[in-house]
Chains A and B, each alone.
Chain A
Amino acid sequence: MTVTDLLSYEDALEAFDPVMGLEVHVELGTRTKMFCGCSTTLGAEPNSQTCPTCLGLPGSLPVVNEIGVESAIKIGLALNCEIAEWCRFARKNYFYPDMPKNFQTSQYDEPIAFNGYLDVQLEGGEVFRVEIERAHMEEDTGKSTHVGGATGRIHGASHSLLDYNRAGIPLIEIVTKPIVGAGARAPEVAKAYVAELRELIKALGVSEARMEMGQMRCDVNLSLRPHGREKFGTRSETKNVNSLRSVERAARYEIQRHAAVLTSGGTIVQETRHFHEEDGSTAAGRIKEEAEDYRYFPEPDLVPVAPSREWVEELRAGLPELPSVQRKRIQADWGLSDHEMQSVLNAGAIELILATIAAGADAASARKWWMGELARRSNEDGIELAALPITPAQVARVAALVAEGSLNDKLARQVIEGVLDGDGDPDTVVEKRGLKVVSDEGALGSAVDEAIAANAAIADKVRGGNLAAAGALIGAVMKTTRGQADAKRVRELILERLAAQG
């Protein structure tokens, strides 16, 4: 890799104003492809989910997936877009081996959704409005594996192998208008925008939007202009950035790289670049001899899409609560400070907590378990909270056992551990490990009596009004019951017997 000069981030921002454009591709979670009935299930054997249409065989024809269009409209509505009354598909003509027809069925000057915005919240609470240019429907390409090169990279490969299972999976491309005015926060805005978009797509239920699986990919267009200048500079386009962190890093890197080139008197070449995860750098793609000329024209194998206003309104009415609204409501409902809310968001715990509440837990205990014990465990294990081997329903069950007094917090933690260790659901763990709170009043009573008898001096102190001394007696009871007593009840019993008033 060639080493590129970078200007320090601060110096770059001192001299220039960054302008960004973000193009996000979302793979829809439809059962079938955009233009044929092939399954979209991930992980299938190579070329086992292909048909004449998605292989581009001579004579084959496309038919539009109704849910693909519906999803596009939902996304458009959620992004505050206008929905086209009439629009067409277009062919984008260029040769590439992963594209069976050597044209991509896409939309050109008639996108299904246009002119919207998405408000994103930055760290510290500031809201930044990202204007949306358009959202349009298109199809994904096949997947190539490069063989014979050093690292599976395209460069130096002797040949490539193509699997067309992915070819034709519906994509929605969401394009922002130029994002100006973000200044030094541009990379943060980019990341926050993609994160917010991902939440929105997930909330709509149109895609799982898992970036690590390539279900959501971002192209980062970036240019710099000297402060005070109206005209945009020449942009670079960093393709297929595959994580939130990378989006931020790519934008940051390009700001520093552009600035270095511009301040040293060079000019930026309009080009596509590739992002390298290892060091956060970008590198130029192949320089093309001739400018792209996609020769777009209306797709003659498909008829126009003209969503009726009734349908659009029906879809609008059926939209779920959107993430930003939901967050505000949740924060108020749960009575969280901005800071607490932020940590819930950072932990990626919202959905888990909601699901736990839906499974019967109260908000406070749901949050307590996910943000406490489970967050600690996910940190230790270095995995996402959602990836822990425990379900919201199981957490809710633990909370219920605590609420009914069958478990205390200490035991509950052990139960959770048991579930995480794969010992089964909470009730099974309780059973197997014998973790039930001793609630048999008789047994508990004799344990208390024993403790009082064995610690006469301390019992006297309590009788004398020193309530703090009761702690030692409680500790003794807990010890004899191997921690399986309800500490609150033990305290009550001790005070009752010693007739001390708290």
Chain B
Amino acid sequence: MTDLTKLTAAGTAAAIASGEASAVEVTQAHLDRIGAVDEKVHAFLHVDTEGALAAAKTVDAKRAAGEKLGPLAGVPLALKDIFTTKGIPTTVGSKILEGWIPPYDATVTTRLKEAGVVILGKTNMDEFAMGSSTENSAYGPTGNPWDLTRIPGGSGGGSAAALAAFQAPLAIGTDTGGSIRQPAAVTGTVGVKPTYGGVSRYGMVAFSSSLDQGGPCARTVLDAALLHQTIAGYDPLDSTSINAPVPPVVEAARNGNVKGLRVGVVKEFGGEGYQAGVVQRFNEAVELLRELGAEIVELSCPSFDLALAAYYLIAPSECSSNLARFDGLRYGLRVGDNGTRSAEEVTALTREAGFGPEVKRRIMLGTYALSSGYYDAYYGSAQKVRTLITRDFERSFGQVDVIISPTTPTTAFPIGERADDPMAMYLADLCTIPANLAGNSAMSVPCGLAPEDGLPVGLQIIAPAMADDRLYRVGAAVEAGFIARWGHPLLEEVPTL
């Protein structure tokens, strides 16, 4: 029998639907794989063996009863530990929520369950999704399956690593400044940040509300599309959810074709700080697209140079408010309640003990940016930058159908290298942030290994809001083009763990 963990999600679903494999077998194979390698990778914070097998049994029973199964029924998935799961711990990678068992499911969780997707467990992440390396997890770092001494990206490093280590064929991430795309890039997987408002945020623990967006992670573009289709769509519980049909992403992923498509290359996504091998692979991707019939257009988006700065004011500002609720009074950690201290003191002690340094840094940064006297100069100006970036995108999308860039300036860096240098760490999101600020959709697909270190490089594709299908059309074309060139998918080169 084939190794069930090596199948794509589409392939797995087909095998289950045809009776070639049962959902329980598939699930058990992945649980076994997790048992075998997760000690090294540390992609998971919590594995729900019982729940996963029970969900798989339900799918098998439905199949036996002749019920029609959804396109991902029985397929295992790794859920980022930022989505609430009723009865299953949800920590957001933080000590402050250690042991918290939510009394409700996130909308994404509900939709996965309804689709018969088997949730294997919750994946590691930078605390409160703040970071680009998963080193900020309160529960220890995750290793990159390509080189366990290197970071798997962040904040969704656990989800990306689980895919690259064949612990799950599907995963869910969240992307506030690149937390789906950057991990996808450095692990050789596919990650999509849908249009802001495309996937419900209800039950997704907020970091920066106006930027956060949940999305699919997978090993192939089609798998990502199938997952996208499953979790996306209007949710009346999220006021910022778009009440419109989901763009035809699955159809687009099945029809990778860029003939006649106008593809923009933005001048500002390049230059100093970009690793030579990354630039080389990116240029090859541009050439590939040209060969496939796309028209390449050079663009300039001058305000993108201010994106990182604006992001590091807006995201911390919103987070300083979103994270105020963690006060040790209603749920989660409580520290220092000795019967004589006040609620105020206990809250301050709890937050001091419960939050890691990056979270504290951002809370204070945001508190500063919003405080009276500084608001206009910082938060206010950052909002103006946001307008300028949106205008740059609008102008660009008047000329091109999609924009492409390297997903990250460098390949995966060694664990510890940038751990106490926030500014260096923040550079990892240089290319991914503009799409969050404007609310566009964006994807990262593998485009090869950097010659100098043999590590994956990601190609970022950005499309306008609610044109997510374009990402899949281009992504599928690039994927097919590279597989034809390499003779196999990139992940076949990942070292055996």
Chain A interface (Cβ within 8 Å of chain B)? 52, 55-64, 91, 93, 95, 97, 100-103, 158, 160, 162, 293, 295-297, 300-303
Evaluate contact between B239 and A58: CB separation under 8 angstroms: no
With A52-B103, A97-B329: A60-B321 Cβ-Cβ less than 8 Å: no
Which residues of B (74-103) have their CB < 8 Å from a CB of A?
Answer: 83-84, 90, 92, 97, 100, 102-103
Q: Is B225 an interface residue (CB 8 A)?
A: no
Q: Is B325 an interface residue (CB 8 A)?
A: yes
Evaluate contact between B324 and A93: CB separation under 8 angstroms: yes
Q: Is B327 an interface residue (CB 8 A)?
A: yes
The 9 nearest A-B residue pairs measured at CB: A102-B324, A300-B209, A295-B370, A300-B210, A59-B203, A58-B205, A56-B325, A59-B84, A59-B205
Please list 25 pairs of residues, one from A and one from B, whose beta carbons are closer than 8 Å in the complex, sorted by A's number: A52-B84, A57-B103, A58-B97, A58-B326, A59-B84, A59-B203, A59-B204, A61-B201, A61-B202, A63-B236, A63-B237, A91-B321, A93-B320, A95-B327, A101-B324, A102-B324, A102-B327, A162-B330, A295-B320, A297-B321, A297-B379, A301-B206, A301-B239, A301-B240, A302-B240
Which residues of chain A are within 8 angstroms of B236 by Cβ–Cβ distance? 63
Evaluate contact between A295 and B330: CB separation under 8 angstroms: no
Chain A's nearest CB lies how many Å from the CB of B161? 23
Q: Is B343 an interface residue (CB 8 A)?
A: yes
Evaluate contact between B325 and A52: CB separation under 8 angstroms: no
Out of B83, B202, B371, B379, name the residue touching A293 (CB < 8 Å).
Answer: B371
Which residues of chain A are within 8 angstroms of B375 by Cβ–Cβ distance? 295, 297
Point out which of B83, B239, B317, B339 has the most chain A C-beta atoms below 10 A from its C-beta. Answer: B239
Point out which of A62, A93, A296 has the most chain B C-beta atoms below 10 A from its C-beta. Answer: A93
Which residues of chain B are within 8 angstroms of A60 by Cβ–Cβ distance? 202-203
Which residues of chain A are within 8 angstroms of B343 by Cβ–Cβ distance? 97, 160
Chain B's nearest CB lies how many Å from the CB of A238? 24
Out of B102, B240, B371, name the residue touching A295 (CB < 8 Å).
Answer: B371
Chain B's nearest CB lies how many Å from the CB of A319? 28
Q: Is B60 an interface residue (CB 8 A)?
A: no
Cα(A222)–Cα(B240), bound, Å = 41
Cα(A55)–Cα(B238), bound, Å = 16
Q: Is B460 an interface residue (CB 8 A)?
A: no
Instruction: A52-B102, A293-B371 given; name 4 further pairs at CB < 8 Å.
Output: A52-B203, A162-B330, A295-B370, A301-B209
Which residues of chain B are within 8 angstroms of A93 by Cβ–Cβ distance? 320-321, 324, 370
Chain B's nearest CB lies how many Å from the CB of A224? 27
Evaluate contact between B330 and A52: CB separation under 8 angstroms: no
Evaluate contact between B239 and A103: CB separation under 8 angstroms: no
Q: Is B104 an interface residue (CB 8 A)?
A: yes
Evaluate contact between A303 and B102: CB separation under 8 angstroms: no
With A102-B327, A300-B209, A301-B240: A58-B84 Cβ-Cβ less than 8 Å: yes
Cα(A62)–Cα(B236), bound, Å = 10
Out of A59, A95, A97, name the residue touching B206 (CB < 8 Å).
Answer: A59
Cα(A61)–Cα(B239), bound, Å = 8
Evaluate contact between A303 and B330: CB separation under 8 angstroms: no
Which residues of B (440-466) have their CB < 8 Å from a CB of A?
Answer: none
Chain B's nearest CB lies how many Å from the CB of A35? 9
Which residues of chain B are within 8 angstroms of A300 by Cβ–Cβ distance? 208-210, 240, 318
With A102-B325, A158-B339, A295-B370: A57-B104 Cβ-Cβ less than 8 Å: yes
Evaluate contact between A103 and B330: CB separation under 8 angstroms: no
Cα(A52)–Cα(B202), bound, Å = 10
Chain B interface (Cβ within 8 Å of chain A)? 83-84, 90, 92, 97, 100, 102-104, 106, 201-206, 208-210, 236-240, 317-318, 320-321, 324-327, 329-331, 339, 343-344, 347, 367, 370-372, 375, 379
Evaluate contact between A297 and B370: CB separation under 8 angstroms: yes
Chain B's nearest CB lies how many Å from the CB of A306? 14
With A61-B202, A297-B379: A56-B330 Cβ-Cβ less than 8 Å: yes
Cα(A296)–Cα(B372), bound, Å = 9
Which residues of chain A are within 8 angstroms of B347 by Cβ–Cβ distance? 95
Chain B's nearest CB lies how many Å from the CB of A92? 10
Chain A's nearest CB lies how many Å from the CB of B116? 23
Write the chain B residue with the least CB distance to A63.
B239
Chain B's nearest CB lies how many Å from the CB of A162? 7
Which residues of chain A are within 8 angstroms of B205 by Cβ–Cβ distance? 58-59
Evaluate contact between A100 and B330: CB separation under 8 angstroms: yes
Out of B210, B324, B370, name the residue touching A95 (CB < 8 Å).
Answer: B324
Which residues of chain B are within 8 angstroms of A295 by Cβ–Cβ distance? 320-321, 367, 370-372, 375
Cα(A407)–Cα(B83), bound, Å = 73
Which residues of chain A are within 8 angstroms of B324 by Cβ–Cβ distance? 93, 95, 101-103
Out of B90, B367, B370, name the residue touching A58 (CB < 8 Å).
Answer: B90
Point out which of B237, B320, B325, B372 has the most chain A C-beta atoms below 10 A from its C-beta. Answer: B325
Chain B's nearest CB lies how many Å from the CB of A453? 86
With A160-B343, A297-B317, A300-B318: A101-B325 Cβ-Cβ less than 8 Å: yes
Which residues of chain B are within 8 angstroms of A97 by Cβ–Cβ distance? 327, 329, 343
Write the chain A residue with the least CB distance to B379.
A297
Point out which of A56, A60, A102, A296 has the most chain B C-beta atoms below 10 A from its C-beta. Answer: A60
Chain B's nearest CB lies how many Å from the CB of A60? 7
Which residues of chain B are within 8 angstroms of A160 by Cβ–Cβ distance? 343
Cα(A297)–Cα(B90), bound, Å = 28
With A95-B347, A293-B371: A58-B325 Cβ-Cβ less than 8 Å: yes
Write the chain A residue with the least CB distance to B209.
A300
Which residues of chain B are within 8 angstroms of A102 by Cβ–Cβ distance? 324-325, 327
Write the chain A residue with the least CB distance to B236.
A63
Chain A's nearest CB lies how many Å from the CB of B223? 26
Chain A's nearest CB lies how many Å from the CB of B178? 19
Chain A's nearest CB lies how many Å from the CB of B452? 41
Evaluate contact between B102 and A57: CB separation under 8 angstroms: yes
Cα(A93)–Cα(B318), bound, Å = 11
Chain A's nearest CB lies how many Å from the CB of B48? 18
Which residues of chain B are within 8 angstroms of A52 by Cβ–Cβ distance? 84, 102-104, 203
Cα(A102)–Cα(B322), bound, Å = 9
Chain B's nearest CB lies how many Å from the CB of A64? 7
Write the chain A residue with the least CB distance to B210.
A300
Cα(A93)–Cα(B327), bound, Å = 13
Chain B's nearest CB lies how many Å from the CB of A146? 11
Chain B's nearest CB lies how many Å from the CB of A15? 35
Cα(A136)–Cα(B320), bound, Å = 24
Write the chain B residue with the least CB distance to A297.
B370
Cα(A101)–Cα(B327), bound, Å = 9
Which residues of chain B are within 8 angstroms of A302 by Cβ–Cβ distance? 239-240
Cα(A101)–Cα(B103), bound, Å = 17
Which residues of chain A are within 8 angstroms of B327 by Cβ–Cβ distance? 95, 97, 102
Cα(A301)–Cα(B325), bound, Å = 15
Cα(A302)–Cα(B343), bound, Å = 30
Evaluate contact between B325 and A293: CB separation under 8 angstroms: no
With A95-B344, A101-B324: A59-B83 Cβ-Cβ less than 8 Å: yes
Evaluate contact between A162 and B206: CB separation under 8 angstroms: no
Which residues of chain B are within 8 angstroms of A297 by Cβ–Cβ distance? 317-318, 321, 370, 375, 379
Out of A58, A59, A158, A162, name the residue touching B329 (CB < 8 Å).
Answer: A162
Out of A61, A100, A101, name the residue touching B238 (CB < 8 Å).
Answer: A61
Which residues of chain B are within 8 angstroms of A61 by Cβ–Cβ distance? 201-202, 237-240
